[in-house]
Amino acid sequence: MKISWKVILLWTIPALVIGFFLWQGAFSPVANEMGRNTASSRMTYGRFLDYLNTKPQQITSVDLYDGGRTAIVEAVDELNSQVQRWRVDLPNNAPELITRLRESDIRLDAHPIRNDGAIWGLLGNLIFPILLIAGLVLLFRRSSNIPGGPGQALNFGKSRARFQMQASTGIKFEDVAGIEEAKEELQEVVTFLKQPEKFTAVGARIPKGVLLVGPPGTGKTLLAKAIAGEAGVPFFSISGSEFVEMFVGVGASRVRDLFKKAKENAPCLIFIDEIDAVGRQRGAGIGGGNDEREQTLNQLLTEMDGFEGNTGIIIIAATNRPDVLDSALLRPGRFDRQVMVDTPDVKGRLEVLEVHARNKKLATEVSLEAIARRTPGFTGADLANLLNEAAILTARRRKEAIGMLEIDDAVDRVVAGMEGTPLVDSKSKRLIAYHEIGHALVGTLLPAHDPVQKVTLIPRGQAQGLTWFTPDEEQGLISRAQLLARITGALGGRAAEEIIFGEAEVTTGAGNDLQQVTGLARQMVTRFGMSDLGPVSLESQMGEVFLGRDWMTRSEYSEEIAARIDAQIRTIVEHCYDLSRQLVRDHRTVVDRLVDLLIEKETIGGDEFRQIVAEYAQVPQKEQFVPTL
């Protein structure tokens, strides 16, 4: 075990101080000399005079110390001839005592005062403060190495950007997949950092700032590291929250220091992650804004105006909240270009899976293309987590390679949560089975609905049973028929409960379904113009209060229109609910068979489900049986 020299020093200093004083008090020359004649007990001065008057022949010697203030009396007992010693504190004026001792022929010896005690006392008074100061200096030096410690009080205004001179991020463009459009946009940034003369020769000016916008997990930070890795220039990386402190002016000072370092190392790349932490709309707070944050933003705007576009400094920022950024930050001349880093499509998801599967041992039956088609809406981070969860399940099950079973279980875990304990056979399990079969059956019979992927009774997360629907293709635009089909399918579980068990036995299991149904119906009426109110947008897409200016925003429609909106929402939901109940009622036989099979197997795949339904009813094509109002 290796012990640091600082630890040894911290324990040695107190031990030396304590040992020094013990040695000074117990082992000094004066104490040693007096210790040779140490008395076993004390005797008062009056009792010593009485003893001297009555038994002077027993007293053999008297030694005086401390300038005559202390006496060590030695006497011999006549009965047992034992030698006894007493310590006597003498008064200041006792000249008659010496006379009486000489008259009684008692040996008297006076020991002079030595100056060694004063010297050692002086040294002790000097050594202890010196040792104390040395210990404090050592502790102060140690605390100066701790981030945010008292030794860094003068470094508050310094930039905390992580600086890499050779941009050894270890990430290239080939390691970033699924966002080809964004990589093409940023390829010219890399070219400018490597060969700026190509642009300056024709009078072109590279954008000062590039803003990466996209949902969380789409690879914005990874893309910035790839740019630095491709260009091979100095790389400054900092988060927007690291600019803002509780002390006024610290953030602005850090911005100045960051750009000063960047100009000294140009050409270079500055990456600010989560810039919305410092670049929010100014004057947006209720009752006044955060002055420190606004001063930091003002300094950032000023610094971006303080260098020319061809100086070789490029700022890349990332955010998933572009709607809250200050307009002055987004104007041309600062962040000139916005690059959208969106969720990948099927081809992009396949490329991402290929990147993350490089260090994974996959079984031969695993199809990355099938996984990509099954995971619409997954970001790059979701897909990386998916393969990692599958690898963990493979190791837990002691298999040599990741199979499709582990992939399927990993998808279910990422989407719905951890698998719970299967339900025992009971009325509750049968009710849940009818609920899930209702969802799946209605979704299968509606041509505009997404196909069923799987129906299961195995609990995951908060859900006691789940039904998965997977779209056949990427859905950038959603039609009115698809929205109505989704509302009808979401109400299929509630409809099955009412048809099979009666209205009195309807449970709370459809609570989440009703929330989704109401939200979709409201958007159809107020945002998409898919109701009798006509093609008008009555509500903005912003569903929550981002800025203080939106807190007291007036209503965008009158009370009469609000009543009509509620009526239209109720009409859409009731129509879809009637349709779902009719489908369950007309296909009661296949519902019962599917429920018995689901209770027995606990999980039914989409292909098997559709085959069973096809035996009892015609599964409609896209253009058949579209729910209309």
505 is an active site residue? no
CA atoms within 13 A on the CB side of 483: 21
Report the first-to-last Cα separation within the chain, whole angstroms.
79
Write the CA distances from 484 to 116, 376, 522, integer angstroms: 104, 21, 12
Burial of 354 by CB count in 10 Å (0-12 exposed, 13-18 middle, 19+ buried)? middle
* Largest Cα–Cα separation, the chain: 142
With tokens 């401390």, the residue in question is 66
CA distance 414 to 382: 8
What's the chain's length in residues? 629
Residues 6+ apart with CB under 8 A from 49: 97
Encode burial over 251-283: b for 16+ CB neighbours within 10 A, e otherwise. Answer: bbbbbbbbbebbeebebbbbbbbbbbbbbbbbe
φ, ψ for residue 597 (rounded to 5)? -65, -40
CA distance 106 to 128: 45
Instruction: Check 74, 185, 436, 497 and give the catalytic one.
Output: 436
Query: What residues form DSSP beta bridges with 452?
Result: 469
> H/E/C letters for each residue in 207-245?
CCEEEEECCCCCCHHHHHHHHHHHHCCCEEEEEHHHCCC
DSSP-assigned letter for residue 468: E
Distance of CA 498 to the CA centre of its chain: 45
Active site residues: 436
